[in-house]
Homo-oligomer: A and B are copies of this chain.
Amino acid sequence: MLRFLTAGESHGKGLIGIIEGMPSGLTISKEFINHELKRRQQGYGRGGRMKIESDEVEFLSGIRWGKTLGSPITLFIKNRDWQNWEKAMNDDPAFDASIPPVTKPRPGHADLPGIIKYNHSDIRNVLERSSARETAMRVAIGALAKQFLKEFNIQIGSFVIKIGSAGLDVSTFKLNEKDLIKFSKMADSSSVRCPFSDIEKEMIKVIDKAMKTGDSVGGGFLVFATNVPIGLGSYVHWDRKLDGIIAGAMMSIQAIKAVEIGDGVKLGNEFGSKLMDEIFYKKKFFRKTNHMGGIEGGMSNGMPIIVKATMKPIPTLRKPLKSVDIFTKETVEATYERSDICAVPSASIIGESVLAWCIAQAFLEKFGGDSIAEIRASYDFYQNTLK
């Protein structure tokens, strides 16, 4: 059972993640993880903070001489700005109340429900953890999962399909394995992670407009996994369904408000006869279409797994939003902290990480095993039975 916990405040000492259940003997590249962290930090429309940070991971446990030991792996991403926050975020009671509290909750954030739930009187006690800064650790953890999946030739990628009014309908595309990988690679060289240059231009225009007006803007992205073996997940119990597991994890990313598998929302518009991915056989079973996004009956069906997610605009705006001071109860403008205008390209990378984790977890559940050698034997046996 693969599991993890993350910890860390946005302006604390750093972010920490412990991953338990990763098999032994897996080669881990720190460079790859740092590369993934960098991919998350890029994108047109990011705020100032992205420039301060250049996230780098440190291993505190579980890895020796470049390989996993089978014991829990600890990742640490230091906050490079900690010296500026030592007073505000110190664990020592000597600093109690040394900094005035944040009292103007921002609509769209955890601020107001957070202080009520946890009985806090300083919104900083909430926003430090609810911040999307946490996703840096999820990307690092996802990078471990990707390295595991790569052993079995499973690839994860993504691209952005909508930013505000600029976007494209991918359900008309034939998204086969080759195209998906190509689009994701092309996205890597686009400042908005969009592989289609005309749409890319429009997207940049939308962001520019938001920037000018002190506004923010959301959008959507597509993440995929290729070469996933048939039968990950299960139909036998609701909480083992792969689509449910993916949807739950994807929706847990900060600011995500919709998750679609395959054609998603479009599947509600048409008659069934047009949408079913008929079954063919030529040495192995195959499909010519993939409306279902690679999942049938809660299991991977051998086609690429395709997931789309919608991100709401970042709720921290330069343009003032109405709020209420938690002490005075007077109408105020919500706190503004330096923030991004558009984070969809970044969310797309986070989406990859989350998908990688879900697939790795389902993979290990099916194939068991404590070392890469043992897992490979189970995997090979199963793949051979398909022939």
**A117 to chain B: closest residue by CB:** B231
Which of A46-54, A149-157, A191-199, A260-268 interfaces with chain B?
A260-268
Task: Flag if A262 contacts B270 (CB, 8 Å).
Answer: no
Q: Which of B59, B60, B113, B324 has a CB less than 8 Å from the CB of A280?
A: B324
**A231 to chain B: closest residue by CB:** B117
Q: Which chain A residues in 42-101 approach chain B with CB under 8 Å?
A: 59-67, 69-74, 76, 89-93, 95-98
Indicate whether A184 reaches chain B with its CB closer than 8 angstroms: no
Task: Flag if A61 contacts B268 (CB, 8 Å).
Answer: no
Task: Flag if A66 contacts B268 (CB, 8 Å).
Answer: no
Which chain B residues border A372 with CB–CB below 8 Å? 119
Task: Flag if A370 contacts B366 (CB, 8 Å).
Answer: yes
Copies in the complex: 4
Task: Flag if A119 contacts B230 (CB, 8 Å).
Answer: no
Indicate whether A385 reaches chain B with its CB closer than 8 angstroms: yes
A34 CB → nearest B CB, Å: 13
Which chain B residues border A331 with CB–CB below 8 Å? 280-281
Indicate whether A200 reaches chain B with its CB closer than 8 angstroms: no
Known: A236-B72, A273-B321. A111 touches B368 (CB 8 A): no
Known: A265-B220, A269-B162, A276-B317. A125 touches B64 (CB 8 A): yes
Task: Flag if A236 contacts B70 (CB, 8 Å).
Answer: yes
Task: Flag if A374 contacts B299 (CB, 8 Å).
Answer: no
* Alpha-carbon distance between A109 and B298 when the two chains are bound, in angstroms: 9
* Alpha-carbon distance between A6 and B18 when the two chains are bound, in angstroms: 8
* Alpha-carbon distance between A172 and B243 when the two chains are bound, in angstroms: 29
Known: A72-B236, A130-B297. A12 touches B61 (CB 8 A): yes
Task: Flag if B91 contacts A237 (CB, 8 Å).
Answer: no
Task: Flag if B369 contacts A368 (CB, 8 Å).
Answer: yes
Residue among A272, A277, A367 having the largest count of chain B Cβ atoms under 10 Å: A272
**A97 to chain B: closest residue by CB:** B65
Indicate whether A185 reaches chain B with its CB closer than 8 angstroms: no
10 more contacts with CB within 8 A, not counting A107-B279, A258-B264, are A9-B62, A66-B92, A69-B129, A70-B129, A71-B236, A114-B299, A215-B273, A258-B265, A272-B314, A276-B321
Q: Which of B92, B329, B365 has a CB less than 8 Å from the CB of A1?
A: B365
Task: Flag if A275 contacts B65 (CB, 8 Å).
Answer: no
Known: A61-B13, A69-B9. A114 touches B238 (CB 8 A): no
Task: Flag if A9 contacts B129 (CB, 8 Å).
Answer: no
* Alpha-carbon distance between A111 and B292 when the two chains are bound, in angstroms: 14
A291 CB → nearest B CB, Å: 8
Task: Flag if B65 contacts A257 (CB, 8 Å).
Answer: no
* Alpha-carbon distance between A280 and B72 when the two chains are bound, in angstroms: 31
Task: Flag if B321 contacts A71 (CB, 8 Å).
Answer: no
Q: Which chain A residues in 253-307 approach chain B with CB under 8 Å?
A: 253, 256-265, 267-273, 275-281, 285, 287, 291-293, 296-302
* Alpha-carbon distance between A248 and B241 when the two chains are bound, in angstroms: 9
Task: Flag if A219 contacts B268 (CB, 8 Å).
Answer: yes
Known: A65-B93, A268-B164. A5 touches B24 (CB 8 A): no
